[in-house]
């Protein structure tokens, strides 16, 4: 099979990925072999490929196939898998496997699984979806509703479930105000899930394309962060009930804190530095990462109903470098997807 292999991390401009012929993997007990049809391109992939996370042990092996929002069909079943069948359309999200027995796995928070041996991350500790085939752990492999197209379904397995998890933590109510910082791959899904709560939405972003997308997805107001401090602007107007931050920007997180009302919530889904925190305002800063298997199933049902939809641009497997370069340059409006 063909696969994009990362042996040595480096700037995407140096083409660290190599399209190579490798053996098709064989599923072990509890695993399935998936013939990949689509894989979303996440900024996390770019961070790993460029070596930003090497100090944290990511990637965990070399060479590795990146890619962690995967859709395909089951080509082979490993021993013990009897609830899936060959030909089923399935998806895999970043959480490839968990232990199933720790306190987090037993309380529907398996994305926080504490196991150092059973928890695996797709495309970071095990091979991912930038390839014609990949292995999936059957207990974390999801059937895809027939109404969803492969390329549009792929982003549901990372930005979709990540956005859903963040909005769920925000506990938005009809009439409340929510400011989103970062209208991109995850952000454009946040707006769609937030709209279902009846909240009034404000989009904060850089660039006309992202601001236009925010308006199209229901924001009654947009703020160009290049033209002023969004936090101070919102604070002057009374602040918002909730801020959700998916821009990988420390200044934007600090602006979000300023622009949130006392007693409000700031949901954060990216590596940033909150800086000094004025505790008497009783604001809450809440981290959010992907979502549980139950939340993933909810996302698929909501998408199948037509209430949310990923906005995508597609590339072929041999154009993976091009997709990643476009992402780095800020040229991807919402989500790039590799189709295979």
> pLDDT tens digits, residue range 72-102?
999 999 999 999 999 999 999 999 999 999 9
Number of independent structural domains in the chain: 2
Arithmetic mean of pLDDT over the chain: 97
Q: Report how far residue 143's alpha carbon sits from residue 138's, in angstroms, rounded to the nearest whole number.
A: 10
Q: Note the pLDDT tens digit of each residue in 241-256.
A: 999 999 989 999 999 9
Q: Smallest Cα–Cα separation from 70: which of 131, 111, 148?
A: 131
* DSSP classification of residue 30: T
Q: Report how far residue 103's alpha carbon sits from residue 106's, in angstroms, rounded to the nearest whole number.
A: 5
Q: Note the pLDDT tens digit of each residue in 278-302.
A: 999 999 999 999 999 999 999 999 9
Q: Note the pLDDT tens digit of each residue in 4-56.
A: 999 999 999 999 999 999 999 999 999 999 999 999 999 999 999 999 999 99
Same domain for 115 and 261, yes or no, is: no
Expressed as residue numbers, the domain containing 76 is: 2-158+291-339
Where residue 98 falls (left for φ over 0; alpha for ψ -120 to 50; beta otherwise) is beta
Strand (E) positions, 197-303? Answer: 200-205, 221-224, 240-245, 260-268, 284-287
CATH number for the domain spanning 326: value is 3.90.180.10
* Token pair recorded at residue 152: 């549009």
CATH number for the domain spanning 164: value is 3.40.50.720
Residue 133: enclosing H or E segment and its boundaries?
A: strand 133-137
Same domain for 152 and 164, yes or no, is: no
Same domain for 8 and 131, yes or no, is: yes
- pLDDT at residue 207, as a whole number: 84
**Residue where a domain terminates, one of 287, 306, 329:** 287
- pTM score, two decimals? 0.95
């Amino acid at each position: 099979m063909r696969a994009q292999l990362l042996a040595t991390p480096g700037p995407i401009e140096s083409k660290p990925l190599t399209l190579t012929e490798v053996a098709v993997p064989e599923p072990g007990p509890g695993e399935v072999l998936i013939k990949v049809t689509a894989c979303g391109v996440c900024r996390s992939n770019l961070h790993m490929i460029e070596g930003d996370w090497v100090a944290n042990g990511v990637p965990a092996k070399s060479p590795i196939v990146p890619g962690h929002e995967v859709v395909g069909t089951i080509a082979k079943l490993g021993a013990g898998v009897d609830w899936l069948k060959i030909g089923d359309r399935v998806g895999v999200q970043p959480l490839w496997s968990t232990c199933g027995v720790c306190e987090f796995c037993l309380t529907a928070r398996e994305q926080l699984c504490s196991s150092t041996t059973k928890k695996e991350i797709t495309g970071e500790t095990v091979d991912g979806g930038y390839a014609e085939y990949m292995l999936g752990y059957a207990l974390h492999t999801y059937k895809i509703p027939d109404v969803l197209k492969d390329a549009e379904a792929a982003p549901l397995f990372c930005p979709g479930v990540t956005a859903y998890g963040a909005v769920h933590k925000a506990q938005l109510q009809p009439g409340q105000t929510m400011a989103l910082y970062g209208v991109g791959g995850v952000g454009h899904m946040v707006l769609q899930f937030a709209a279902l709560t009846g909240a009034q939405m404000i989009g904060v972003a850089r660039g006309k394309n992202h601001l236009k997308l925010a308006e199209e997805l229901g924001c009654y107001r947009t703020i160009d962060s290049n033209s002023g401090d969004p936090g101070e602007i919102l604070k002057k107007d009374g602040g918002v009930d909730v801020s959700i931050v998916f821009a990988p920007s420390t200044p934007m997180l600090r602006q979000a804190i300023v622009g949130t009302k006392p007693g409000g919530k700031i949901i954060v889904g990216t590596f940033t530095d909150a800086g000094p925190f004025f505790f008497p305002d009783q604001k809450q800063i809440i981290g959010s990462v992907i979502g549980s298997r139950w939340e993933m199933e909810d996302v698929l049902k909501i998408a199948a109903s037509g209430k949310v939809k990923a906005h995508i641009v597609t590339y072929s497997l041999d154009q993976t470098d091009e997709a990643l370069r476009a992402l780095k340059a800020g040229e991807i409006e919402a989500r790039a997807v590799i189709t295979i």
